[in-house]
Amino acid sequence: MSPIALQGFSYRESSVLLYSLVSAISRSGGWVLEKKALAGRGIALRVEVQSRDMLDLYAALLAAGLELTRWSHLALAERCTCRQHLTSPENQRQVIPLCLNISFLNDTSMRRRPEIAS
């Protein structure tokens, strides 16, 4: 199964958010397989979670302070809906791979206005 690609961002300090995310993922039944720095101010997490724990993981990501893109919300909501309807033990134990790309923003970069050339 190919990983579900998720994109998120945060204004929080990267080390604080990363600690919160890894703890939240573990508490919700997921596993962080890999952490990789991205160009600029970002990080990629490769995560796996059993289907039965998908809703807990979704809630944990949001509770940790991660802002998800619209498409990421839709992808996670779709998986949570599938989980509700696929109730056999085999489906509940299915491992779902996720690739979470996180951008760290700061207030000053968002407030900066472009210079107007005269």
Does the residue 19 lie in any domain? yes
How many residues appear in the chain? 118
- Is residue 118 situated within a structural domain? no
Quick check: is 14 in a domain?
Answer: yes
Helix (H, G, I), strand (E, B) or coil at 40: coil
What is the tens place of the pLDDT at every residue in 91-103? 667 888 999 999 9
37-90 confidence digits (pLDDT tens): 988 789 999 999 988 888 899 999 999 989 999 999 999 998 888 665 566 667
Q: What is the mean pLDDT of the chain?
A: 84
pTM across the whole model: 0.78
Asked if the structure places residue 13 within a domain, the reply is: yes
Q: Is residue 41 part of a domain?
A: yes
- Structural domains in the chain (count): 1
Render 65-114 in DSSP notation, one character per residue.
TPEEPHHHHHHHHHHHHHHHH--SHHHHH-EEEEEEEEEE--HHHHHPPP
Domain around 53: 4-95
Type of residue numbered 26: S
